[in-house]
Amino acid sequence: MLLKHLRDLSVEAPLASGHAFLSAASGLVVIDGHHYVVGDDEHHLAMFPKAGAEKGRLMRLFPGELPRDAKQRKAQKPDLEMLLSLPIATDGRRRRLLTLGSGSTEQRRRGVLAEIDDAGLLCDLQLLDLQGLYAALEALVPELNLEGAVAQGDALLLFNRGNMANPATHILTTPLSAVIDGTAAEVSIAKELQLPSVKGVPLSVTDACLLDDGDILLSTVAEATDNSYADGALAGSALVLLDARLDVIAIEEMQPKIKVEGLSGHYVAGGIELLCVTDADNPAKAAGLYSGLWRI
């Protein structure tokens, strides 16, 4: 499937890297007239218009500033890898955004829950301490590195990324309400996926999106690394479609060869229409927004 570049993710002011763009986009949600994007090495979320080339508006998620040096920033970053939209229970029409860290280090076991006001801006931010939850999840997998999440009612499905040393993708489940409330929660493995390899490098999940009929769309990449911290050479990327039972329905290679880390999709007459954002793996290079149609 061919992806079309729509725009670079330029923002209104320089970020911790010193550049006025997201370089490591890791989650995407589309709500009304806006695209909301998180980067894994930032303390901000960026809001972009659905149409046009207007620069993204920055909204702070965490206090304080991250180091400009890339290695120091990587050690201290919240590594926000998951972004999903939730309804407000008392309303149903207004939305909340939940973003969660990967859990791959102690520093990355945090999250933020925020409401979206009538102007599309974040309000009533709630910082989430996820140390207890992530410790329980860590006991279930060889190496914790959460990259995608979808909510099915009160069930939160968390997609744990594998690597060359531990290639399986694990789908973990826990009550969403417990995550938000910070209470003790049961955790379990819902599914273990063994995905194909590209040039000897296994595909592993980088994001998840719940589709209209209950199917789940995954972005995956084949990255030559044997742990959850270090980046590696990219061998390829692919979309994976799961049914409601979490069984693989179809797999489709993506072109060009880019590291897709966040996606949003829905069914249309011709297949699945999707938007995705990329991680450049280079703080001096802008991440991009892409579109595509998977004819399925």
Note the pLDDT of residue 68.
94
Least confident of 79-83, 158-162, 184-188: 184-188
Spell out the domain ranges in the chain. 4-294
Residue 295 predicted with pLDDT over 80: yes
Sign of the Cα torsion 39, 45, 51, 54 reads negative
Cβ atoms of 271 and 295 within 8 Å: the answer is: yes
130, two tokens: 């996820």
Mean pLDDT of the chain: 94
* Mean pLDDT of all residues in 77-88: 93
**For the chain, how are helix, strand and coil distributed in percent, rounded to 5?**
10, 50, 40
Note the pLDDT of residue 93.
66
Instruction: Find the helix or strand (DSSP H, E) in which 252 lies.
Output: strand 248-253
* Mean pLDDT of all residues in 167-183: 94
pLDDT digits (tens, 9 = 90+) for 86-143: 987 666 667 899 999 999 999 999 999 999 998 999 999 999 999 999 999 999 999 9
Note the pLDDT of residue 50.
87
Q: Report the share of the chain in percent with pLDDT over 90.
A: 88
Q: 4-294: what fold?
A: Neuraminidase (2.120.10)
pLDDT digits (tens, 9 = 90+) for 210-266: 999 999 999 999 999 888 777 789 999 999 999 999 999 999 999 999 999 999 999
Note the pLDDT of residue 232.
86
Cβ atoms of 21 and 48 within 8 Å: the answer is: no
